[in-house]
Structure 1
Amino acid sequence: MFCDAALILDADARACDLAIGDDGDLVIDVTPATPMLLSIGFDARALDGDELPDGRTQWDAAPSSLLERRGSPGDALDIDGRFAGSRLWLLSRNKRTEETRLLTEYFASESLFWAEDMTGEAAEVEAWWHARNMLRLRCSVAGEAITVSKRVDR
């Protein structure tokens, strides 16, 4: 069902790297862990109504570049119009509120839309405040779970 080049999550560095086997070859991951890491870790394009972290919206002055709304060039190829990645990056300047926690869960669930198509079950997502400006996010698909951190500035 799943067959990807495996990623290893370094939770302290909040980064991923490719897994290399003892023989020097890439490790193959047949679990949903790697697709979950990619879905949560990539930045999805901001929707027209989304407020960007610098405070701009679609009604303000036009962004100076296409990059400000982020997203993947591959999004243009999805016939269903679904964006790869998550909109979690939009929360980087949010405050420690219940709304921020709920948006974290919503954006993570939104990014894991593929789980139901591939496994028949929606992804399970839970977010909680771990530290003053740090959210923990646990995502589970088909019995495989990952836990990542999301920093907010305020």
Structure 2
Amino acid sequence: MLSNISWTQFLVVLIGVLVLYYIIYFIRFRFNGMMEKLNKKSEVYELDILEGREEDEETKMLDELEIIINRIKKDVLDQAGKTATKDQLFAALPGTVANYDGLHQPAYRYALNNYIIQQSKQSCGVEIEEEELEELWGNLPN
């Protein structure tokens, strides 16, 4: 009976059994570990995407802040000049800042307040307190 089996047939069956053995071994002992690694990689990838979105949003907010600051400098402070009063500035600022979403973010709001306080003193000679600006922003429509 063994004389009827050729070496080719023997090797094909042996390789088939080995492949089947390693498939069963892989599924039984290594599959869960591999799935965990794949899930971790996908989680890391998703976190990278979310962090990228956050950076994009921060960059967008900073760009908007820069635009608002330039608009305040040009349209409000430079136009008002040295003869401006606090009431004139308070009348002009809300129209420029009303649509800025950064007012809801404390860091951007603080930066905007500091800029207005500093520039109004330099450009117009008007001293504005932070509390007055906070009250002004609080009266803006949401």
Q: How would you bin the TM-score normalised by the shorter chain?
A: under 0.3
Q: Which has the higher strand share?
A: 1
TM-score (norm 2): 0.27
Query: Which of structures 1 and 2 has the larger relative contact order (alpha carbons within 8 angstroms, sep 6+)?
Result: 2
Larger Cα Rg: Structure 1 or Structure 2? 2
Q: Which has the higher helix share?
A: 2
